[in-house]
Chains A and B, each alone.
Chain A
Amino acid sequence: MSTSLRTQVGQLAHRSVLRTARQPAQIVPAIVFPLFLLAVNSGGLKDATNLPGFPTDSYLTFILAVPFIQGALFSVMNSGTDLARDIETGFLNRLALTPLRGMALLSGLLAGAFVLGVVQAVVYLAVGLIAGAELVTGPAGGLVLIVLSVSITVAFGTIGLFAALRFGSGEAVQGLFPVFFVFLFLSAMALPLDLLTTDWFHTIASVNPVTYLLEAIRSLLFEGWDLGDLALGFGIAAAIGAIGMLAASAALKTRLVRT
């Protein structure tokens, strides 16, 4: 990476982190809302562990994977609305008048998602463990879990960037949130894939990448080191990130029509 590109990425990343840190309205819901749902689900659905073949006797441990994905969904909104605001206010035009490189802009903007992702993952894991969830892979597994969670958060963040660049409005980005929540609900969120007996639901959940992200997280929590699940989880996060980044780069080229 050249010095100028490194400087640009560093400065834009610094701005993105500052912006995130200075917007409690972005941080608090992204942490509190998934924890609230964790409390509701772990209390209300704990009898699911009595189902034959349920992989753990702690529903809290099972459902603890969900906040990591819900938190990542918030990064779609946060990174996307921040960029959309830059477009709406003309700040992107200001940057366009500098020797800005597209990759620097996108990478820098994801820095805020990265930092928020780290905070979210640490908080979710800590709260889960304090509440009695298992972590059979120990501290090393906790570290991998945080890395995986942040990877998912950043990957989802690229989709927010694409939406912002494509549509140029914060409202359009926010409109994605319910769509992504549908993806979450149509996955093996509440029950393991094997126990989803309704055919259509099982079919959708089995092709829904969110299912495999959840399974990768769950493997660390209560199954032990399963390299296959982890590889699939990291692979899906990388694929989403790569596709999101390519789409965002293409949208940025169209958005920045500077000659």
Chain B
Amino acid sequence: MTETQRSGGIEVESLVREFKNGPRAVDGIDLEVAQGEIYGFLGPNGAGKSTTVLMLTTLLPPTAGTARVGGFDVVSEGPQVRATIGAALQEAALDPLLTGREHMRLQTAMHGLGKAERAERGGELLERVGLSDAADRKVGGYSGGMKRRLDLALALAHRPRILFLDEPTTGLDIQSRTALWEEVSRLAAEDGVTVFLTTQYLEEADALANRVGIIDHGHLVAEGTPAELKAEIGRPTVEAIPREEGDRERMAAVLGRFGEQAGGSPRAVAVRLEGGESQLAEVVRALDSEGIAIEHLQLHAPSLDDVFLAKTGRSLEGADEEEPEGAEAEAGAPA
């Protein structure tokens, strides 16, 4: 047993999930997450993120490969894995007819907490996620952010060592998103909880994750700290919009002298600067000497989207795939 396994991390080897009449939603991924680490699992819709989470949380059996969560095998030691983990899956699965406090009472009781501890733990978690005032209101009246925070509190009911969060901030406003990020960071930093976080938001992975794995078409195409991944790409991108629409082709020709084309908005021309940021002044001079007026010019530092683009040939935005044949549905569908 490795140190990662003993200490409450995650270790995955050649994990595969194949759906009936469908593609391999997860196609042989390997990864390791250490205790207390926040691991960002980044990819477009349909890339295989949720299917991976369902397998790691024991809700979907893998077709092949092995995974150990908290030192326990997800196939042969499912109950031990479930006792070790907390999970907030893609949709906040809440009962609109119950109050927040009733949810907490049910969750803590189902995890076997004693009667006195249930109320105390429930109150403590509701307080922590800022829902004390709304605790006795039915969840049907909660906002999206409140539901997500309750979902997080429920996942923490039994003090799990490992937390799975499947796109926890999708659909949330910036304020709710930031509040959730702060809580997740605190959990990892202060409580030593390992967090496996899937997201399709670059800034979320960038802001939260110690390490990021990029998944595309079921394959892990890159892995490392956000800084390492960006450094791999290395070059910044300059994006320019001509004042006259008719100058776009000429602008593309000029910018093409400085590097390969990169994705940008439809009106803009973008290139990855081979010579780095210092070339910006040359770019401006070249455009000026060709008499091309500039409406907008922007220099982008390398982002995780650039990493995704470099690894897959596509930009993360708009790279969504069709969902694989019912990963969620098959986590519990009759054969």
Contacts and interface: CB of A to CB of B under 8 A. Distances in A.
Interface of A: 4, 7-8, 10-12, 14-15, 18-19, 22-23, 86-87, 89-100, 166, 168, 251, 254-259
A248 to B, nearest CB: 12
Interface in B68-121: 74-76, 78-79, 81-83, 85-87, 89-91, 93-95, 97-98, 102, 105-107, 109-112
B246 to A, nearest CB: 53
B93 A93 contact: yes
Interface of B: 57-61, 74-76, 78-79, 81-83, 85-87, 89-91, 93-95, 97-98, 102, 105-107, 109-112, 138, 154, 328-335
Nearest to B57: A97
B89 A15 contact: no
A89 B111 contact: no
Contacts of A22: 97, 138
Contacts, number: 100
Main secondary structure of the interface of A (DSSP, over half): helix
A12 B138 CA distance: 17
Q: List the 3 closest A-B pairs by CB distance, nearest first.
A: A90-B93, A259-B78, A98-B110
B98 A97 contact: no
Nearest to A95: B110
A251 B332 CA distance: 10
Given A11-B106, A15-B106, A257-B61, A93 B331 contact: yes
B107 A92 contact: no
Given A7-B109, A97-B85, A257 B95 contact: no
A258 to B, nearest CB: 5
A153 B100 CA distance: 30
B332 A255 contact: yes
A100 B102 contact: no
B331 A257 contact: yes
B79 A99 contact: yes
The residue among A4, A8, A99 with the most chain B CB atoms within 10 A of its own CB is A99
Contact of A98 (B75, B78, B97, B107): B107
